Structure 1
């Protein structure tokens, strides 16, 4: 099926398979959503409208539904096959979902209509990152939240990931560059809204095997090149009701 974006970078067969695996669901998606949930400084929005930007095959829906209890859950992706699989996944989970075929750089979503925008491991696939971030800002309500979870260039630009997956390498960024980009767009966040997970699967060289066998001690934050960054960033508010 033809992608719904001229800049879409098609995933490898392995990558497409991996995105529906137990490892992806349990060790990547679930962990990221739990971590993002813990980065909120304020009460969660009550019965929010959630947009999953780059929903892929819909494996996030069950975790977003359980964690945030949305009144509306919208999945958006530029790959028609992924949207079909998202629809089937939502049906299996018994979750009401609205699906949109769209490029993140041109969201088919009204202004100020979303309480939470979830962007997990999507941004490093996007060629037009500045435009996408501007669109995220546009569709969020004042006081709405961007939940941003990304792998950084230090991880994406390794031989294993280059071999197994496909990404636009010229747009990859460090954790600091992603945070600067989000802040420059106008989002607000503090240090307590940011985390740098150092999970086994994200280790840039050996997937943490040397540390797991006690052959090397893990480096603390500030002494390593971060491979993951999670942030809960807020669009400046005019007040939103909370539970």
Structure 2
């Protein structure tokens, strides 16, 4: 298969099927979108154009429509097979969506044409992360939102994830390194716009079982290596 990015790291068969599962849609996507809504605060941005950068198989489309009511929904992914499945998902949900098989580091979208960029669990798949972030900046309108939700190196570089999934390991970053990358590009956010979820599926050693069984208390923030980081960041108006 020919991918839209020359640096694309092909996902495993297990990984590809996981991205169409109920667990992915309900326990990962839904939870992340709800948290990002909380980080934005009220009122939520509504209408305009929303870009799902790294849309995969389109399981986010209905959730994003319900949350932000965009006038235009755009999906982009480097895997043409995923894009075709995303097209079928949109049709099943009755959604009108513009889909692109394209690289996040070189997006076929005009400057300042997007109100919200949703980037969920995409960045750790990208080799050219700085170029992709510059593209997000380029296509966003001044005052537009980047909704960024990522797994960190502490999670990606574990035996469970390495065994079942594939990623470009040389570009993985800590939570703070991702935050510094966003700041370096010029995005603005405060501490209230950032969260470090500690969800059961991000615990590579025991998936939170010891805590759910009451055998161990979860380590508080600051006393653990963060496995997830969510950010609601804005491109400045000026």
What is residue 2 of structure 2 aligned with on the other side? 2
For 2:29 and 2:2, locate their aligned partners in 1 and report how far apart those are by CA, in whole Å: 26
What is residue 52 of structure 1 aligned with on the other side? 52
Tell me whether 32-41 or 178-187 shows the greater mean CA deviation.
32-41
CA apart distance, 1:206? 1.2
Structure 1: runs of 5+ lacking an equivalent: 239-243
For 1:45 and 1:205, locate their aligned partners in 2 and report how far apart those are by CA, in whole Å: 38
What is residue 150 of structure 2 aligned with on the other side? 150
Task: Specify the SS of the correspondent of 1:131.
Answer: helix
Task: Specify the SS of the correspondent of 1:184.
Answer: helix
CA apart distance, 1:226? 0.4
Per-residue CA distance 1:26-84 (angstroms, 9 max, x = gap): 00000000000110145333312000000000000000000000000000001000000
Task: Specify the SS of the correspondent of 1:39.
Answer: helix
For 2:215 and 2:66, locate their aligned partners in 1 and report how far apart those are by CA, in whole Å: 39
Per-residue CA distance 1:197-227 (angstroms, 9 max, x = gap): 1100001321111111112110111111000
Q: How does 1:1-243 map to 2 (within 5 A)?
A: 1-41=1-41, 43-238=43-238
CA apart distance, 1:102? 0.7
For 2:3 and 2:227, locate their aligned partners in 1 and report how far apart those are by CA, in whole Å: 28
For 1:71 and 1:170, locate their aligned partners in 2 and report how far apart those are by CA, in whole Å: 38
CA contact (8 A) 1:47 1:71 kept: yes
What is residue 241 of structure 1 aligned with on the other side? none
Task: Specify the SS of the correspondent of 2:39.
Answer: coil
Structure 2: runs of 5+ lacking an equivalent: none
Q: How many residues align?
A: 238
CA contact (8 A) 1:204 1:227 kept: no
**TM-score scaled to structure 2, two decimals?**
0.98
Task: Specify the SS of the correspondent of 1:161.
Answer: helix
For 1:41 and 1:68, locate their aligned partners in 2 and report how far apart those are by CA, in whole Å: 13
For 1:105 and 1:229, locate their aligned partners in 2 and report how far apart those are by CA, in whole Å: 21
CA contact (8 A) 1:48 1:68 kept: no
CA apart distance, 1:101? 1.2
CA contact (8 A) 1:20 1:57 kept: yes
**TM-score scaled to structure 1, two decimals?**
0.96
